Chains A and B, each alone.
Chain A
Amino acid sequence: MSNTASNQTSTSRAWVMLLLAGAFEIVYALSVAGSQAFTVLSWSISAIVFFLLTLYALSVALKTIDVGIGYAVWAGIGAVGSAVFGSVLLDQSLTLPQAFWLAVIIAGVIWLKLASSEKLQPEKSELVAS
């Protein structure tokens, strides 16, 4: 029981890493788009660097956070973020139907990842307070 405090510290550190992984993933997506199929050097380097950063941050976060929940949050941040920042920074504004269907896809993948979570299975009675 004495390691409850250190568990909490590592849990919050893991969540910081997960949010960072989501932010890195947004930069990765925008860099891949900006690289113009890897013909622009600066964006290409940025894409590679942020791919590795995302992979590292995600792997650290998922040592502590449940994989289903972790992927749901990470995928949600990456997808929403790339749509929002893509429209603002790269001037790729979506039409209303496109934004609607995009929202359906993103909600679907978050729902799917949460449904894959060990911790969120309905038949398990012990809910984990985090």
Chain B
Amino acid sequence: MISWVYLGIAVLFEIAVAFSAGNAQGFTRLWWTIATLVSGAIATFFLSLALLEFDVGVGYSIWTSVAGVGIVVIGAVFFQERLNPRKLSGIAMVIGGVIGLRLSGAA
């Protein structure tokens, strides 16, 4: 169970990576570049803790996919990006898949 917590923390910092990298503008802006690298280091470390228990394919895929969902949801809530039916179906597939993996005994 603690592996899922590690994976959740890694997801939060991966969302921070995407946000910082987007603002770093090709890594020409110093502080956003530093934020990208620091978030990436923290995300990677917590991913490595989760992967002590998860198989790499499972843990890695949950990590990137849930972060992808988080980015879209944050975009919709805070940046007025539109959620269309296609995005919602993608989100549903990722969440359904994660629940399926949890129930089929992946860590």
Contacts and interface: CB of A to CB of B under 8 A. Distances in A.
Contact size class for A?
Answer: 35 or more
State the majority secondary structure of interface residues on A: helix
Contact of A113 (B36, B47, B68): B68
A84 B57 contact: yes
B94 interface: yes
Given A101-B97, A107-B93, A116-B72, A94 B57 contact: yes
Interface residues of B, number: 42
Given A35-B48, A97-B104, A104-B97, A59 B60 contact: no
A37 B98 CA distance: 23
A83 B26 contact: no
* Secondary structure class of chain B's binding surface, majority of residues: helix
A55 B36 contact: yes
A69 interface: no
A109 B64 contact: yes
Nearest to A39: B48
Interface in A66-83: 71, 75, 78-79, 82-83
29 contacts: A32-B47, A36-B48, A37-B48, A37-B51, A71-B68, A82-B60, A83-B56, A83-B57, A86-B56, A90-B55, A90-B56, A92-B57, A94-B55, A95-B105, A98-B58, A100-B100, A101-B98, A101-B104, A102-B58, A104-B93, A104-B97, A108-B93, A112-B69, A112-B72, A112-B87, A112-B90, A112-B91, A112-B94, A113-B68
Interface of A: 29-30, 32-33, 35-38, 47, 51, 55, 59, 63, 71, 75, 78-79, 82-84, 86-87, 90, 92, 94-95, 97-98, 100-109, 111-116
